[in-house]
Structure 1
Amino acid sequence: MAGVVELFEQPAVGVPVTALLLALAGLACFFFWRSYRARKLRDATLARERQLRSQFEAVLSSARDGVIIVTQADELALISDVAANILGVTRADAVGLPIARLNLRAVDDQMHPILLREAFGIGRTDDKPRIVGVPGRRGAEDVRWIQVRSRVVPDGWDNGPVTVVTMMDTSGLREAAEALNRSDAQFRKAMENAPVGMALVDLEWRLMEVNRAFAEMMGSTVSALRSTPFSALSHPQDLHAERDQLQRLYDGHSSRFTVEKRYVRADGNVVWAVLDVGLVRYAGGAPDHYVVQVRDSTDDRMHSELMAHRAMHDPLTGLANRTLLQDVLQKVLEQPDAESRVGVIAVDLDGFKGLNDRFGHAMGDNALVHVAGVLRTATAGRGTVSRIGGDEFVIVVQDPDCSKALFDIAGAIHQGLKRPVQVKRHQITLHASVGIAMADEETTSGGAPTLLSAADAAMYRAKSSGKSRTEVYEPSMRTTSDAQSALASDLAGAIEAGQLVLHYQPILELATRTIVGYEALVRWQHPTRGLLLPSSFLPLIEDKNLSVSLGTALVDQAAEFLASGPSPTTWVSLNVSADQLGDSEFADRVLSAIGRYHLSPQRLVVELTEASLVAPNTRIRHELTELRNAGVPILLDDFGTGVSPLSYLRDLPVSGVKLDMSFVAGIPEDPAGARVSRALGALARELGLATIAEGIETEAQAEFLAGCGWRYGQGWLFGVAQPASAVSESSPQFTTSLIDPRPQEHDNPLSLGDRTF
């Protein structure tokens, strides 16, 4: 520089001034270029530093794990947003503070207090993860569990070593694991103590786990059933009952299925079970295992089969009833070779009514059971034996040599009946009239009723020809319908002549055994055939539309009986069917008789047969309401049978109900009948209805019904139906109400509370 100055002060000898100026200008440009380059490099470095810091901040803020950096002096040099949130501090307050001054408490995985320095792993040489607890967000006792990993980085901050600590909040995972463990424990506890069988089954249909109820159902143990193929427990005939359903479940076409099948217990006994199967899948949808519930349905199955059997069989003899007979006969007649293979035998006992009258219904029932055994033995599996009512039996025979089989069976019936029946101290020999009808073109085209009618006609010919014999149907015989038509033609004159009379069966209060009323039962005092029971002529009355005239004629008989009876409080119930109602003629006759004989309206009771009241029309309801408003009680007969009895109680002005004798017959030995009787009685009492049970034949039945709350009863135990002249009343003390199921002290025996019917 001194040289340069000298140049300005003393121009060099021989050096042009212009050259000197150019040299100075070049030197100035050089220094300016070097300064610009240095500034450019510094700005680029600062920009890169800002970019790296921004990226670093972005990484920290977006990372799932929190990060803190602790200097060699245990000061917080850096803390990420995630770490600040986990620890419950703010970045501005925390950065630069010694970690000991952070207002935090920490615990180890055993809930023992530890220092933050230890919790963060400051000074540790390994980087193994640790679980520690820091304060949570849900109160003073809440702990947030975090996984901490620390690592020492030399020359990490101001040329000194730092500890980089990463932390991850594991509270959610820990809670999820605890919830999963708790759920698994609850499921296993519920499975172990479930009252129904449960099992976990793998995709190969092999038992992985079962509960105690399932093991007991199979007659085995839990340990013995583990790893057992589920199919090995199935009944041979139900081995693959669930196979197709399992495939549909596996393929995703259904989410669960239910099937009922049989299993074989370890002791060889067979049980029915309802199998309910669901498929558990992984989160991705792949099948994992089956969850199975197995409910023992043996009792339900047996009950259903028993009820189905009862619906199709006679309860006394166990033979097929009329419904099953019609079904069987119609099916065999529809077969192509029916005309050469099918026949019917009608059997009617001779003199059975006399046996019943002499020894009673109990002995009569014993005789019917004996006859049923004779018919089974005679048929020997070649047909279906049925009892269609009273002492009438029908056998449907299907045999390749049907004609010979029919005569063999008929002969065996007569031979079997020669063996006497022990009735009390007497040996009684029974006899039967037998009618045979072979299927032919006419009877086949007419169906089951035509063939049955032909067999009946042959049986009536046998009975009219001397009884205890067999007749074969031929077209010249009068069919049963012709004979019945002849009998029906006499009905109108019989009603006008007063040949249809009432017999009265007593109704008693079960608690006191006091006669409180009677049921009026119609009989036909035929001039040539003697006393006929309702079953022989009531169907004819319905066919000839004589119901109304009969009903009105019998009203006067019942009213006269009440007026002339020794007790002013007993009542009489008259059986009335739906076809006798609807035009108000019956109601007018009832009200007229009450006025003419000066009777209390509540002493003449209308008893409706439930079977005839399916969907009663408006006129019928109107007439019943008219009678009820006049004070005449309405009883619903055969309660518990038929269609929708509850709708009758709702729609009709009913004052009381009569329990059908089919429920009484089996009690108290039959638990199902006992439960039904008790339930129906409770329902009637809840509705404020009078309760009467019919068909009582034993003291045990009477005591059971009284204990169930049935207030009144009638049946053979208390007396049979007798003509008015034979009814003897010993001035019964009527102390209870027909209508009110609870004992009341009213002057009027047929009143309920403040309301009079």
Structure 2
Amino acid sequence: MDGALDLFAQPAFVAGSSALLVVLALAAFYFFWRSGRERVARDTALEQERLLRQQFEAVMTSSRDGIMILTRTGDVALMSDVAAGILGLNAADTTGLPLSRLPLRCVDQHHRPLLGRDAFALTEEGRPRIIGVPGRRGPDDIRWLHIKADQVEQAPHGQPVTVVTIMDTTGLREAAEALNRSDAQFRRAMENAPTGMALVDLEWRLMEVNRAFAEMMGHTVAALRGTPFSALSHPQDIQAERDQLERLYEGYQSHFSLEKRYVRTDGNVVWAVLDVGLVRYAGGAPDHYVVQLRDTTDDRMHSELLAHRAMHDPLTGLANRTLLHEVLENLLAQPDADGRVGVIAVDLDGFKGLNDRFGHATGDSALVHVAGILRAATGGSGTVARIGGDEFVIAVQDPDCSKALFDIAASIHEGLKRPLAVKRHQIQLGASIGIAMADDDSLAGGSATLLSAADAAMYRAKAAGKSRTEVFEASMRTSHDSQSALGAELARAIEHGDLVLHYQPILELATRSVVGYEALVRWQHPTRGLLLPGAFLPLIEDKGLAVTLGAALVEQASQFLARHPSESTWVSLNVSADQLGDSEFADRVLSAIGRHHLTPQRIVVELTEASLVAPNTRIRHELTELRNAGVPILLDDFGTGVSPLSYLRDLPVSGVKLDMSFVAGIPEDPSGAKVSRALGALARELGLATIAEGIETEAQAEFLGRCGWRYGQGWLFGVAQPGAAVIAAHSRLSTSLIDPNPRETGELDLKGLGG
């Protein structure tokens, strides 16, 4: 023991032991340090695994596509919730199951049954497989899936796995089908649309057009594809089209409409309304244009025809008074009008005698003949107008206006030397012509002053022997002043009762019994004798005396009816639009009927100037008020005007009067005969009374009676006479000639005009 102690106490032993202890300590430290590193590495690996698992799960849950992992033997190792939802399965129940045991029915894209292992087998070259699985909207619903299966070789434990990506394409497929259906519907609608439609690229070339578009342009559909759209345009309209396209392309407007012209392959021009919309991508970049083209050629021609009719005389085609004033005002507004602008007033000599002898049809032919002479004499250097009856005016602008006016006047006289052939007669026409040049007075007073000067010169020519030309001079203004004095005299004449009614009989054509009269106004002038309406009616309109005159004539007609032996006879009064609109005329008529104890059917309102009566106006309401009170409304000049049929619809009409222009010439004139027969049938079909005016021959009366026109008036049956003479003649005539009481209520067609 002591030896051992001694051994340990020896220095060598002590040194060796210390070294051993150091080695042991170092070894212990190394192993401790190494185990610590392993723990840190393990903890780091576990954390990374946890993070990777979280990321994997996040990918699995957030991806819109489903993911399924299959083992080498075809068992489900993992199925994401998204995949389970797409397949209609529970993800937890599928883990570890073979594909063949999954409760899933699959079909291929041809609807043939498909096994699970085939449905989710590896796909070639990354191309997806299309399969169908049961949908959620019923037994026949199928959800279409894109399956992509890839094999992963470097799998854990060295076992390869198959990663299957499942994408539900049902929505995309339905959207594609809907898009295809929409595209097919659009193309069918485009192909069968009655209006022209086209798809145009950004270079304004036609990509697709429909049949209506091609027919409008006189092309085939195939020939128009790829054609520059501008090549079809009228050259004068291309710039307006380009301006609109530029604004559309730059986004200043979403679409535009433009009425423009196109030139067909046959050279004809068509008018069309071009509607253009620009289709853009989702980002706003332009893609192509959608075009609709509506043919408006007929509408345009109709509008131009109506505008022409509003500004031109329907008989001769010359400018009317409205257009003449417009042309003259424009000419006089030019700075060099003095000495360069003038007018020629032309009035035919003896035209009334021509009308009286040969009838109105011949008179109309004469007017057309004269219009041709005036056109030829003017040679396109002026505007020729017919301002009424046999009065014409020519407005001229020329650097040497005085010479031009005399040359035209001389040509007119020369042209009128050629006689007009009428029914084997050679009729020589003549004209009195007045010339007036623009001067300070006419420039200040406008077109009316210049026309008045030409009229004064024309009246001087007529007074000096007719068929001659006179130039206006200041002394002729006295004549114009006398017209003004005549206007003032006319106002006093209405007040004193100097304007009286004469009555022209209206007969039933079948029995030749007088049933009524048309009241025609005359002026019993104290010095000039009996004046016809043409001498003073224009003054009545100019002086605004129509309402005052109408009131006086209503009272005269009522007094005539009260004195007439027959209690059924009626009187028609010509009423213009100027006299209507404020209910005063209706009040006067109804008051006169009550005051003289007349039945309302005995006063008939014969509406003239129906073109001035617009529907839904106060004039229409006043006519309706009269009609409701039992006062019949006659439409005068039936068959003429812009749109007479619309008046039958819009106005409370009881009957119609066939315009005398249709009566003249029948039955020899086949066209006039057909028109009068057709108009009569139309009026009877509408339940209207029918009266034909202007009957001058027995043949006309018999023909109209056979055509169904029930009543007639004209020189054949008698001219207009004063009321006292009519009543006296009625009292003298026997009932064998004229039934003094043809019907108890004065019945006309369809139980009277008032019925």
- Please indicate the TM-score interval, normalised by the length of the shorter structure: 0.7 to 0.9
The 3-state SS of whatever aligns with 2:502 is strand
Greater CA deviation, 294-303 or 382-391? 294-303
Q: Where do residues 83-482 of structure 1 align in structure 2 (5 Å cutoff)?
A: 83-121=83-121, 127-154=126-153, 156=155, 159-482=158-481
Change (3 A) 1:588 1:184: closer
**Greater mean deviation of Cα atoms: 208-217 or 635-644:** 635-644
Is residue 71–residue 157 contact of structure 1 (8 Å, CA) maintained in 2?
no
> Mean Cα displacement is larger for which, 575-584 or 396-405?
575-584
Residue 702 of structure 1, aligned match among 657, 676, 679:
679
Q: Residue 664 of structure 1 corresponds to which residue in structure 2?
A: 639
The offset of 1:664, in angstroms, is: 1.6
Partners of 1:426 and 1:265 in 2: CA distance:
50
**Counterpart AA for 1:649:** R
Q: Which amino acid aligns with 2:99?
A: I
How far apart are the structure 2 equivalents of 1:225 and 1:252? 28
**Cα offset for 1:45?**
3.4
Deviations 1:334-372 (A, max 9, x none): 222222221111111222222223332222211111111
Moved more, 651-660 or 498-507: 651-660
Please point out which of 634, 649, 660 is paired with 1:682: 649
* Unmatched segments (≥5 aa) in structure 1: 1-6, 608-634, 667-672, 753-757
| AA partner of residue 121 (structure 2) | G
Per the TM alignment, residue 716 of structure 1 is displaced from its structure 2 partner at its CA by 2.3
TM-score (norm 1): 0.82
Q: Which is further off, 154-163 or 274-283?
A: 154-163
In 1, Cα distance between equivalents of 2:266 and 2:165: 64
- Structure 1, 647-656 or 433-442: larger mean CA deviation: 647-656
Instruction: Indicate the SS of the match to 2:72.
Output: coil
In the alignment, residue 438 of structure 2 is paired with which amino acid? A
> d(CA) in 1 for partners of 2:236 and 2:358?
50
Equivalent residue number for residue 72 of structure 1: 72
Q: Find the counterpart in structure 2 of residue 639 from structure 1.
A: 610
Comparing 270-279 with 709-718, greater Cα deviation is found at 709-718
Mapped pair 1:537 → 2:536: yes
Pick which of 135-144 and 151-160 moved more. 151-160
1:56 corresponding residue in structure 2: 56
Q: Which residue of 2 aligns with 1:620?
A: none
Deviation at 1:328, TM superposition (A): 0.9
Alpha-carbon distance change, 451 to 82 in structure 1, aligned in 2, over 3 angstroms: same
Task: Answer with 489-498 or 20-29: which moved more.
Answer: 20-29
Q: Which moved more, 1:410-419 or 1:156-165?
A: 156-165
Alignment check: 8 A CA contact 1:511 1:711 kept:
no
Query: Displacement, 1:553?
Result: 4.1
**TM-score (normalizing by structure 2):** 0.82
> 1:420 offset after TM fit, Å?
2.1
Q: Give CA deviations for 1:290-318 in whole Å, capped at 9, x if unaligned.
A: 22222222212211111111111000111
Letter in 2 for 1:706: A
1:167-214 Cα distance to aligned partner (Å, 9 max, x none): 112222222222222222222222211212222222222222222112
Identity among equivalent pairs (%): 64
Partner of residue 705, structure 2: none
> 1:61 and 1:472, CA in 2 relative to 1: closer, same or farther beyond 3 A?
same
Residues 641, 660 of structure 1: 8 Å contact kept: no
Mapped contact 2:262–2:270 kept (Cα < 8 A): yes
Structure 1 residues 395 and 582: CA distance shift in structure 2, 3 A: closer
Secondary structure of the 1:477 match is: helix
CA–CA separation in structure 2 for the residues paired with 1:586 and 1:320: 34
Q: Which moved more, 1:432-441 or 1:93-102?
A: 93-102
User: CA distance change for structure 1 residues 157 and 661 in 2, over 3 Å: closer, same or farther?
Assistant: farther
Does structure 1 conserve the Cα–Cα contact (< 8 Å) formed by 2:655 and 2:753?
no
SS of equivalent residue, structure 2 residue 149: strand
- 1:654 is paired with a residue whose SS is helix
Q: Distance in 1 between matches of 2:113 and 2:580?
A: 94
Report deviation, 1:713. Answer: 3.9
Change (3 A) 1:135 1:512: farther
Partner of 1:622: none
What is the CA RMSD across the aligned residues, in angstroms? 3.7
Instruction: Give, in whole Å, the separation in 1 of the partners of 2:581 and 2:228.
Output: 68
User: Alignment partner of 1:467: what SS?
Assistant: coil
Q: Which runs of 5+ in 2 are unaligned?
A: 664-675, 696-711, 731-737
Q: Go from structure 1 to structure 2 and tell me whether the alpha carbon gap of 1:552 and 1:323 turns closer, same or farther (over 3 Å shift).
A: closer
Question: Which residue in 2 is equivalent to 1:561?
Answer: 560
- Alpha-carbon distance between aligned partners in 1 of 2:613 and 2:268, rounded to the nearest angstrom: 38
Deviations 1:114-163 (A, max 9, x none): 111111115x6764321111122222211111111112223636543322
Change beyond 3 A, Cα 1:138–1:505 = farther
- 2:182 partner letter: S
Q: Is the Cα–Cα contact under 8 Å of residues 458 and 472 in structure 1 kept in the other structure?
A: yes
Preserved contact between residue 655 and residue 689 of structure 1 (Cα < 8 Å)? no
* 2:625 aligned partner, one-letter code: V
SS at match of 2:520: strand
Q: Which residue of 1 aligns with 2:656?
A: 692
Give per-residue Cα distances to partners, 1:406-449, cap 9 Å, x unaligned. Answer: 22222222222222223334322222221111112222222111
Distance 1:580 1:311 in 2: 22
Distance in 1 separating the partners of 2:593 and 2:42: 129
